[in-house]
Chain A
Amino acid sequence: MKINAMEFLIFILIFSNLSCISLSKDRQYYDAMEDVKSGSLDFAFMKFNNYLREHPNSTYAPKIRFAISEYYFQTKDYRDAIDELTKYIINYPNEKNTIFAQAIFYKALLDYRTEPLLVEKLKEAFFSKSIFLIFSDSKTKSYKSILNNNYKIVDYIDKIEVFKNDELLFEIAP
């Protein structure tokens, strides 16, 4: 099959445009990540927000939304944290880090001292699955967010402990 010059040119143009779009998208993300690394969380937050506005369905979206929620929570903006985490839990029920979003949500509700019924329901959700601890007294799940926070949820027979950066965030029992 012979490709004439015009067809080749069109192919190159389309490919290069697509690449530019993709590169530009990734650059935005990495720019924000650079801010995270340098500790400029406010700039990172703004850039993540811009990124989501432009690319709401990106594969990075769940991670970024989680980071935005974390940012609100860290800056003690509980109202926005609760709103954002509610959306997160509803939109990404099956994400690996949803359980960690629930944990931050629970902590935000506790700190904000609102919605006691919702706190109870969340508590029930933490204990809604059977767990088998075979020859071990606990099971651990962990997640590192793009804001570089390490979260750990440790299930015991009678309680759950949630850690953030190896610091106990809270402990709950059924």
Chain B
Amino acid sequence: MSSFLKSRRNRILIVILSSLLIPLLFQTGISYILNKSKPRILGYLNNTFEYRFALGNISFNFLQGLHIKQASVFYNNQGKPTIFIKEAFIHIKILPLIFKRTIAIQADINQAQFLLNKEEKGLNLQMIFSDIYKKMPKIKPLILNKFKDRLDISIKFAKLIYTGNTSFQNYIYILIKNSKFKQESERFRFDSDIELNYQLSEDAYIARFFKNKSIKQEINCSIQGNIKGKDLIMDLILLNIGKNQIIGTGTTKDFRERNPYVDIAFMHSVILLDNITSMKDNFAAEGNAFFSLKINGPMNNTKASIVGTLLDCNLRYALANAESFDIKNFNGELDYGDTRIKLDKVYLKLNTVPLNIKLLINISDEPDIALSISLLREFLTAQNLPLARLEAVFNGKIKKTLQGELKLDALYIRRGLKLNMQAYFKNIDFDYSSREEKYFRAGVIELIKDNTLKIQKLSFTNFKSKVYLGKDRIELKELNFYGYNALLNGKINLNVGDKTALIFTLEGIGLDVKTLMQDINISNKLLSGSMDTKVMFDNQQKGFLEGECYIKDGVADLDLVANILKLPSLKKVNFDLLESHFSLSKETVRVNEIKLVSPDVMLNTSWDTNGKIDGILNLKIASGLLNQSKAFKRLLALTEIKKPYIDFSFLLGGVPDSVRVMWMKGEFKDKIKEGLPDWAKKRIENNLDKLIDGMANE
């Protein structure tokens, strides 16, 4: 024995050093062998599983087991690895190594990335799992030991990125944090923090509503279950969203197959909207949503359906360009399925305006949309609007623009009389997604008023306008459309603040009176002409509608006067100008003045009608024309009147559709005698009375 070994201290030192060095050497040796064998290992993996594998570094230590760095699995030889594990430690059982079996009992993944994609035959990750799993029993199991033994997998941080394209997301990814999967024999448990992330594309319309154009939600997920034959039974699925808990159960049938069938159902649960991060952060959402969620279908084509109720929800939003909404007391039923979104029995207050809403969207690349919005009658009354009903119904498609047909339906009640008013906008093209300035076009517009006795309508084409949405307001500018051989233009301003204010102005030049009167059906007395008009509406004013019309080179039928004066030629009077000024208030229709100027007749009339007419009609008729009537010829001969025109004055009464006309004898006599010398007046007095009485009897 050498002197060195005689020392007890040295022997202890050698034992200690050896006990340290030998494992270190063993460990280094195995690591060296493993690294040397890397091509063989990869070759083995590639050949066995028929996927391309890559491995950055592999080493071994007694405490942590196999230490793997930058391991990758490629699906279909794609450039980017479908599975990329930056660093992992795999604990293996030592004893089975003697029998050339590798049994892993624990895998700790520090960082990983998975690229998920929908393939025709399944999800790529599931297919990799299925293929590897099926091929494992024929060789020595590497990681999953038929789930018969104990296995722990932990993932500190992983990113699961969905690479499939959807209509408005740039990409969807899920962050998996502090995830633990534990399996003992047939039982398993999975706990993880999950963060869902939807990154919306820049040009997606809904992106403007979300900060950083992303939707995020953190969920704590816990699943417990067992394996029964070919199926994975999830006895309990627990999702914690904020303080809310959603409980469900589910099954993955044939879970080892490439495209297993998933069937998960969550119990009817309540969730507070302020627990949904994106709703809270972007819309200051409050309120409750009661819902049940189901997810089922083949793994590559699962369908989600939600049936629920929204209760007293509040949402608000304001964009920099003042496009904003404030929704309060949102109550309604939600039904979301694979092919449709349905909102029914919705009541809400949009910027203080209470609305009933029904919405149906059939989901496709260009979704069909059916939307019905109606205002509550109580609101109409409170706003002092004389409407019993106001409803908008839109049916169309959501493309890059909103296309379809819009119907506005109102029931206007005036003095107990019901007027159905409808506006149809056909072939609509609304550029809803533009930020500052949106265009609204309609191929055809029809306005119809029906009081069961008569139908009045107006038809226009090529409606164009620019729409500006702001806080509590909608403005339509540069509005123009064609109708009755004329171009009309104007603007509309709707403010829905504390008081609803609707203001519009409309101007048209050269409207064809004949076709206009046929449609508008307010008078059959205007036979032709060319009309310039200007109309102003302001519901805040007592006289909410004011307007003026100028009809040039027209023909009018003055049959009322013609019948009274027995002058048939008045049934067709050519006039140079007919001028009319009118105003409407809730109580009264006021025609301030109608002036008709023609060579033979000059007419001036004005009346008020509050359902009844109260007015006066002044006429000047050329003496030449009056000579066509025998009675007037006699009258003019008797009085020897040389005046070019004779004045008439009539009182008007009755109702607009059947006017009562009174011709006052005294006044007419005065007008006839006007300008005559006293002796002439006396001379004709008796005969004038006889003539006038004769005219009355005729």
Chain A residues with CB under 8 Å of chain B are 117, 120, 124, 127-137, 155-158, 173-174
A158 to B564, CA, bound (A): 18
With A158-B612, A173-B612, A174-B612 as known contacts, state yes or no: A134 contacts B653, CB within 8 Å.
no
Interchain nearest-CB distance for B452 vs A (Å): 10
Evaluate contact between B695 and A158: CB separation under 8 angstroms: no
Q: B662 is contacted by which of A120, A129, A157 (Cβ under 8 Å)?
A: A157
A124 touches B655 (CB 8 A): yes
Q: Is the CB of A132 within 8 A of B564?
A: yes
Q: Which of B564, B611, B659 is in CB contact (< 8 Å) with A134?
A: B564
B693 within 8 A of A: yes
> Which residues of the other chain, A, contact B416 by a CB distance below 8 angstroms?
117, 120
Q: Once the chains bind, are B665 and A135 in contact (CB under 8 Å)?
A: yes
Instruction: Kindly identify, within residues 3 to 36 of chain B, every residue whose CB is under 8 Å from any CB belonging to chain A.
Output: none
Contacts of B659 in A (CB 8 A): 130
> Known contacts A120-B416, A129-B658, A158-B614; is A135 also within 8 Å of B651 by CB?
no
Q: Which of B577-627 contact A (CB under 8 A)?
A: 611-614
A-B contact pairs, 20 of them (CB 8 A): A127-B654, A127-B655, A127-B658, A128-B657, A130-B654, A130-B659, A132-B563, A132-B662, A133-B660, A134-B695, A135-B668, A135-B696, A157-B652, A157-B653, A157-B662, A158-B614, A158-B654, A174-B611, A174-B612, A174-B653
B664 at interface, CB cutoff 8 A = yes
Cβ–Cβ < 8 Å partners of A158 in chain B:
612, 614, 653-654, 660
Kindly list chain B residues whose C-beta atoms are within 8 Å of the C-beta of A157.
651-654, 660-662
Residues of the A chain whose Cβ atoms lie less than 8 Å from the Cβ of B157: none
A136 and B654 form a contact (CB under 8 A): no
The one of A128, A130, A133, A155 in contact with B663, judged by C-beta atoms closer than 8 angstroms, is A133
CB-contact partner of B660 in A117, A135, A136, A155, under 8 A:
A155
Interface bin, chain B = 20 to 34
- Chain B nearest CB, measured from A121 CB (Å): 10
A132 vs B560: C-alpha distance in the bound complex, in angstroms? 8
Q: Is B246 an interface residue (CB 8 A)?
A: no
Chain B residues in 8 Å Cβ range of A127 = 612, 654-655, 658, 660
The answer on a CB contact under 8 Å between B658 and A128 is yes
**CB-CB < 8 A to B663: which residues of A?**
132-135
B239 at the binding interface (Cβ < 8 Å): no
Q: How far is the CA of A124 from the CA of B657 in the complex (A)?
A: 10
Q: Assuming the A-B contacts A135-B693, A135-B696, A136-B696, are A130 and B661 also in contact, with contact meaning beta carbons closer than 8 angstroms in the complex?
A: yes
Is A137 within 8 A of B657, CB to CB? Answer: no
Residue of A nearest to B665 (CB): A135
A130 touches B612 (CB 8 A): no
Whether a CB of chain A sits under 8 angstroms from the CB of B692 is: yes
Is A130 within 8 A of B653, CB to CB?
no
**B654 — which chain A residues lie within 8 A by C-beta?**
127, 130-131, 157-158, 174
Distance from B545 Cβ to chain A, minimum over Cβ atoms (Å): 22
B interface residues with partner A (beta carbon < 8 Å):
416, 560, 563-564, 611-614, 651-655, 657-665, 668, 692-693, 695-696
Distance in angstroms from A116 CB to nearest chain B CB is 8
A-B pairs with the 10 shortest C-beta distances?
A174-B612, A135-B665, A157-B653, A133-B662, A135-B696, A157-B662, A158-B653, A131-B660, A130-B658, A174-B655
Which residues of A have CB within 8 Å of B655? 124, 127-128, 174
Residues of B within 8 A of A124 (CB): 655
Q: Which residue on A lies nearest to B561, using beta carbons?
A: A132
Chain A contacts for B665, CB-based, 8 A: 135-136
Partner of A130, one of B560, B651, B664, B668: B560
Contact residues in A for B657 (Cβ distance below 8 Å): 128
Q: Name the residue of chain A whose CB is nearest to the CB of B614.
A: A158
CA distance A133 to B650 in the complex (A): 10
* Interchain CB contact under 8 A, B611 and A135: no
Please determine whether A135 and B664 come into contact, CB atoms closer than 8 angstroms: yes
The CA of A129 and the CA of B659, in the complex, are separated in Å by 8
Measured in the bound complex, the distance between the Cα atoms of B612 and A130 in whole Å is: 13
The answer to whether residues A131 and B693 also contact, given A124-B655, A157-B651 and a CB cut-off of 8 A, is: no
Task: Kindly list chain B residues whose C-beta atoms are within 8 Å of the C-beta of A129.
Answer: 658
Closest CB-CB distance, A100 to chain B, in whole Å?
19
How far, in whole Å, are A136 and B660 apart by their CA atoms in the complex? 13
Q: A130-B654, A158-B660 are in contact. List 9 more A-B contacts (CB 8 A).
A: A127-B660, A130-B659, A131-B661, A132-B661, A133-B660, A136-B696, A157-B653, A174-B613, A174-B654
| CA of A160 to CA of B690, assembled, Å | 29
Which chain B positions have C-beta within 8 A of A131? 654, 660-661
Residues in chain B near residue A130, CB distance under 8 A: 560, 654, 658-661
Among B612, B692, B693, residue most surrounded by chain A Cβ atoms (within 10 Å): B612
B256 to chain A, nearest CB (A): 75
Cα distance A124–B665 in the bound complex, in angstroms = 29
Which residue of B is nearest A135, CB measured?
Answer: B665
Residues of B within 8 A of A137 (CB): 662, 664
Q: Closest approach, in angstroms, between the C-beta of B138 and any C-beta of chain A?
A: 89
Please give the distance in Å from A159's CB to the nearest CB on chain B. Answer: 8
How distant is the Cα of A132 from the Cα of B663 in the complex, in angstroms? Answer: 8
CB distance from B588 to the nearest CB of A (A): 13
Question: With A and B bound together, what is the CA distance between A131 and B665 in angstroms?
Answer: 16
With most chain B CB atoms within 10 A of its CB, the pick from A132, A134, A136, A173 is: A134
CA distance A129 to B661 in the complex (A): 11
Which residues of chain A are near B661, meaning CB under 8 Å? 130-133, 157
CA distance A157 to B614 in the complex (A): 9
What distance in Å separates the Cβ of B473 from its nearest Cβ neighbour in chain A? 39
| Residues on B with beta carbons closer than 8 Å to the beta carbon of A128 | 655, 657-658
Q: How far is the CA of A129 from the CA of B692 in the complex (A)?
A: 25
Q: How far is the CA of A135 from the CA of B668 in the complex (A)?
A: 9
Residues of A contacting B563 in the complex (Cβ-Cβ under 8 angstroms): 132
A134 CB contacts on chain B under 8 angstroms = 564, 663, 695-696
Flag if B692 contacts A135 (CB, 8 Å).
Answer: yes
For the complex formed, measure the closest distance between the CB of A171 and the CB atoms of chain B, giving whole angstroms.
14
**Minimum CB–CB distance for B674 against chain A, Å:** 17
- Nearest chain A CB to B668 CB, angstrom units: 7
